[in-house]
Copies of this chain bind each other. A is one copy, B any other.
Amino acid sequence: MKRHWNCLDSQFKYENRIVKVREDTYHFLPNNITHDFLVLEFSDWVNIIPETSEGEVVMIRQYRHGVRRETFEIPGGLISEEDPDPSAGASREMTEETGYTSDDIIHIGTVEPNPAIQSNRCHTYLARNAVPGAGQNLDPTEAIRIELIKKSKVYDMIRQGQITHGLVVAAFAYLLLHEGKDAVQPPK
């Protein structure tokens, strides 16, 4: 595609510990107009589907301040500077939030959470044969309950709107595509 956009200016307008808000001014060549675009700069994120040898997913329930209620999710979080790579971050988040560990972690997909307004990525992993370990290791501001759910029931919960986190739904899209057609049951 012909180059349509030239960035003329870029200014930070707000910053806290998890996001920087940037305003970029672009010249749009085809119509010869300038326009501002908002960009939210975050670290890269990870999430991980811990699956036991019995085909259960280790899910978590926690209060989320964006929607101001408890949600049903898989473990995940920010990649830390101490993580040697994203899979280490995913493994760390799984162990901190659920106590489960796995020595069989594979990458199944990477999304850009919102390419229109965010520059970051979220890497999704599958932890096979996850086993309960030393228990949770939570931050002082975390209260997380774990719940083991049969994978087929997880898909039903997505279909029925009981699991709504966009990055979690995307993670299970990768799992469905990774596992192939036997994974999906017809809707009831």
Contacts and interface: CB of A to CB of B under 8 A. Distances in A.
Contact of A166 (B1, B155, B166): B166
Contacts of A67: 112, 115, 118-119
B109 A26 contact: no
Interface residues of A, number: 74
A26 B67 CA distance: 14
A33 B38 CA distance: 33
Contacts of A66: 39-40, 112, 114-119
A134 interface: no
Contact of A65 (B37, B63, B64, B181): B37
A158 to B, nearest CB: 6
Nearest to A180: B186
A185 interface: yes
A31 interface: yes
A61 interface: yes
Contacts of A150: none
Nearest to A26: B65
Interface of A: 1, 4-5, 7, 13-14, 16, 18-19, 21, 23-24, 26, 28, 30-31, 33, 35-40, 61, 63-68, 70-71, 73, 109-119, 121-122, 140-141, 143, 145, 155, 158-159, 161, 164-167, 169-170, 172-174, 176-178, 180-187
